[in-house]
Amino acid sequence: MNNIISVSYYTFLEMVRNKVLYVLLFFALFIFVLGIAITQMTIGDNLDIISDIGLGTIEIFSTVLAIFLGINLVQKELTLKTLYPLLSKPLSRTEYVLGKFFGMIFLIVVEIIVMSLIFLVLLHVYGGPERLIAYLPAIYTIFLQTATIISVAVLCSTLTEPTVGGILTISFYLIGATSYNLVYAITHRTSENVAKVINTLRYILPDFSHFNIKDNLVYGRGLEGLHIGFASFYALFIVLIVLSLSVIFFNTKEIN
């Protein structure tokens, strides 16, 4: 356990010093400028628009960070050969993979907290800082969704080079983000048998609709009590499966 904590901490430290903060700074400017510009141009409740943009931006930036840092997590160490001295210590490969994953999770948590604080400032400017409390479940499910993406990025990083890993992880995200609507649209426009097959796919393909509660919260449609619990279970399920695969693959990989 101590080894996992050490790998996580130094993975976080290495990444947080590696220009990630510039991305956050860019986000801060982006969200402020965009929010102010849009509220000037549109008719409607400014707070709703700002909320929509704020939560959407937190999701996009978390996803981008998860993919582009995650796919390099192990591969970069293989390419630069930083892995050799690390694995020459009494550290199992399982501890290494888990440490890398939790280091990345740690980074995303900090990133989401920083972006939420920027979001809070924006809400305050538009007179609704108390809304952030109501949005916490949405921020939590964004974190859950990002955690699944990180686990897939780690898996790809143990298997293949960053370019291929990036394509696979982005595909996972796109499938997860669109599978619910795609399946819904296809099953309503096809024969009953095909619809059954397509419906079965819903249980295999990742479905991020379980994590999407932003609209419900921003536009006051309410939230079922079980939703957060199910989303947590669903994310945990994906992460456990994917991380187990990563550990199995990495334990059988020759570090050449």
Partner 1 sequence: MVKPIEFKNVSKTFRHPMKVWDRIEAVKDLSFSMENGEIAGFVGHNGAGKTTAIKMMMGFIWPTAGEIQVNGKDPGDPDVKKSIGFLPERPYFYSQLSGMELLSYFGKLTGIKGTVLRDRSEKLLRRVGLFDDRNRKLSGYSKGMLQRIGLAQALINDPQLVIMDEPMSGLDPIGRREVKEIIRSLKREGKSVVFSSHILADIENLSDRVLIIEKGLMKHFGTVPEIVPPDRIRYKIEFNAPDEMKDAAFSLFKGIRVVSNRFVIDCEDLDDFNVKLTSIVQKGYTVHDAGGVYPSLEEIVFSQSGEVAS
The binding site for partner 1 (CB under 8 A) comprises 2-3, 6-7, 10, 13-14, 17-18, 80-82, 84-92, 254-256
In the complex, what is the shortest distance from the CB of residue 81 to partner 1, in angstroms, rounded to a whole number? 6
Nearer to partner 1, 84 or 230 (CB): 84
Nearer to partner 1, 17 or 188 (CB): 17
In the complex, what is the shortest distance from the CB of residue 247 to partner 1, in angstroms, rounded to a whole number? 14
In the complex, what is the shortest distance from the CB of residue 167 to partner 1, in angstroms, rounded to a whole number? 22
Torsion, CA 26, CA 29, CA 32, CA 38, rounded to 10: -80
Nearer to partner 1, 47 or 87 (CB): 87
Phi first, then psi, for residue 75 (nearest 5°) are -60, -40
Nearer to partner 1, 192 or 254 (CB): 254
For 54, other C-beta atoms within 10 Å of its C-beta total 27
In the complex, what is the shortest distance from the CB of residue 178 to partner 1, in angstroms, rounded to a whole number? 36
Phi first, then psi, for residue 167 (nearest 5°) are -60, -45
Q: In angstroms, rounded to a whole number, what is the distance separating the alpha carbons of residues 97 and 246?
A: 7
In the complex, what is the shortest distance from the CB of residue 24 to partner 1, in angstroms, rounded to a whole number? 16
Q: In angstroms, rounded to a whole number, what is the distance separating the alpha carbons of residues 42 and 200?
A: 42
For 48, other C-beta atoms within 10 Å of its C-beta total 15
For 89, other C-beta atoms within 10 Å of its C-beta total 9
Nearer to partner 1, 76 or 227 (CB): 76
Phi first, then psi, for residue 182 (nearest 5°) are -65, -50
The label of the residue with tokens 């102010």 reads 36
